[in-house]
Amino acid sequence: MEEEEYLFKVVIIGDSAVGKSNLLSRYARNEFNLHSKATIGVEFQTQSVDVDGKEVKAQIWDTAGQERFRAVTSAYYRGALGALLVYDISRCSTFDSIARWLDELNTHSDTTVARMLVGNKCDLETLREVSVEEGKALAEAEGLFFIETSALDSTNVKTAFEIVIKEIYNNIS
C-alpha cells in the first residue's frame, strides 16, 4: 500500500520589515540576515516535519516584498491551510496592522486556516512597544494561536511553524 502524502501550504503575512523572510530562512536553513533585501516574486521553501510518525511537507510561502505595495495577490493565499501573522514587538504600528492582515486572510480563504499570531524580534526587549498581554489578548479575541519569536536568536521559531503544521494536520484528519 502507498503511504499517504501530506503537503500543506502555509503563508507568512504582516507589514514590511517585521522579519517574515528571516523567520523563514531561520526555520528552513538556519540563516539570518541583518540586511535582507526583498527579492522579486513569490518564493516558498519546503520543509519536512514528523507529525505522529507521518512525514508532513510544509510549503511555506514568503511575500518577497509584495506587501510594501499592498499587493499581496490572491494567488499567494490560494490553498493556504496555515498562516503566520507577524508583527514586530518594537513597532506598534505593525501590531495595529494585524487586523487588516487578518481581514485579508479571511477574505481569501474558504477553508479552516490554522492561524498563529507571531510577535517577532522579542530579543529587542528594551525597545518593546507591544506587551505580551496585548498580543495574547488579540489572539484570544480572534481565535489565533500566539507566540513571541526572535529570528535573530532563534527563540521559538521552530515551535511557531510546527504548532501551525500540527494544527493543520489535526484539522484535516
- Please check whether residue 8 is in contact with residue 81, taking contact to mean a CB–CB distance below 8 angstroms: yes
Residue found under cell 484570544: 140
Q: With binding defined as CB under 6 A, does residue 123 bind ligand GDP?
A: yes
Q: Classify strands 80-88 and 6-13 as parallel, antiparallel or unpaired.
A: parallel
Taking residues 5 to 34 in sequence order and writing x for each that binds Mg ion by CB under 5 A, - otherwise, the string is ---------------xx-------------
Q: How far apart are CA 171 and CA 165, in angstroms?
A: 10
Count of CA atoms in the C-beta half-sphere (13 A) of 45: 19
Site for ligand GDP in 22-81 (CB under 6 A): 22, 33-36
Q: With binding defined as CB under 6 A, does residue 16 bind ligand GDP?
A: yes
Write the single-letter amino acid at 151: A
The CB-of-35 to ligand GDP minimum distance in angstroms stands at 6
The CB-of-119 to ligand GDP minimum distance in angstroms stands at 10
Write out the residues near ligand GDP by the rule CB under 6 A.
Answer: 16-22, 33-36, 120-121, 123-124, 150-152
